[in-house]
Chains A and B, each alone.
Chain A
Amino acid sequence: MTLIPVEHVLIFSLLLFAIGLYGTLTRRNIIGILISIELMLNAANINLVVFAKTTSLSPETGQVFAVFVIAIAAVTVAVGLAIVLALYRSRKTIFADEVHLLKW
């Protein structure tokens, strides 16, 4: 970590986060959106790991946090896909802009 300035990694993770966010905003496919969310979570994870190695007061904190985030991400995907499958079964669509019964 002495090799690369922390800012560079942070910019990298920011870009990754931005790409993920862009995906969530523009992907029609709900699975695509979920994938994009994974990118966002990973961006945050990179931050956590980098900070664990640079600014953290105790070395484990960031990494342990990252482990929890990965776990939560996995659960989110599981729950998300379960819901998407249920939706797919009844509505025959997995496009986010085709589910708009509820509005106004």
Chain B
Amino acid sequence: MEILTLAAKIGAYALMTGVLLFALGVVALRNLFHSALCLAAALIGIAGLYLFFRADFLAAVQILLYVGAVMTVIIFAIMLTEHLSGKTTIQHNRQSLPAFLGIAALVTVIAKVILQTPWPVTQKALGAHTSVEGIGTALMTVYVFPFEVISVVLIAALIGAVIIAKRENPS
């Protein structure tokens, strides 16, 4: 058990490190396609973390919706605009330095705040296990209204997206 725990712990930290590295790749790589691949990897890593947190349902959603659907769309878009995403073009603008400094400051500040805060961790929450079933029930009962709203959002947004993405055809 000790070893398993240790292994799980090391695995989790390794996973986090990996996600961070891929995330760096997302923002730092010149080739946008590579970035997208990095993103996919990072998202999968995050799904792994979800598993580690015993959020199985979410891990599944993450893989299916994100890696499956969203990434496909992104890569499709990258392909469409490929010649602009090539290596030759400068991929970063000139405000890297102020952005970096600002973000460093932000990270310092917020990290400090996070470490200061006495997170009210409860045994109940630690011990609780949420099954896929439980989440499904919740979505259909308590969260039925947001669920319906999000479906309306999906419909409305997709109709809109289709109209926008269509070629201009004066009818």
Contacts and interface: CB of A to CB of B under 8 A. Distances in A.
Q: How large is the interface on A (under 10, 10 to 19, 20 to 34, 35 or more residues)?
A: 35 or more
Interface string B53-92: 1110110011001100110011011101100110001111
Contacts of B129: 59
Interface in B1-48: 5, 8-9, 12-13, 16, 19-20, 23-24, 26-27, 32, 35-36, 39, 42-43, 46
Contacts of A25: 95, 99, 103
B150 A39 contact: no
B116 to A, nearest CB: 10
Q: Is the interface of B mostly helix, strand, loop or mixed?
A: helix
A99 interface: no
B43 A42 contact: yes
Given A19-B20, A19-B24, A55 B121 contact: yes
Interface string A1-28: 1111011111110111011111101111
B61 A78 contact: no
11 contacts: A2-B126, A23-B26, A28-B91, A29-B32, A49-B50, A52-B130, A67-B139, A81-B74, A81-B161, A81-B165, A94-B84
Interface residues of B, number: 85
A88 B160 contact: no
Interface in A20-77: 20-23, 25-29, 31-32, 34-36, 38-39, 42, 45-46, 49-50, 52-57, 59-60, 63-64, 66-68, 70-75, 77
Contacts of A9: 16
Contacts of A3: 5, 8-9, 12
Contacts of B93: 26-28, 96-97
A60 B53 contact: no
Interface of B: 5, 8-9, 12-13, 16, 19-20, 23-24, 26-27, 32, 35-36, 39, 42-43, 46, 49-50, 53-55, 57-58, 61-62, 65-66, 69-70, 73-74, 76-78, 80-81, 84-85, 89-93, 95-96, 99-100, 103, 106-107, 110-111, 114-115, 119-122, 125-126, 128-130, 134-135, 138-139, 142-143, 146, 150, 153-154, 157-158, 160-162, 164-165, 167-168
A63 B87 CA distance: 39
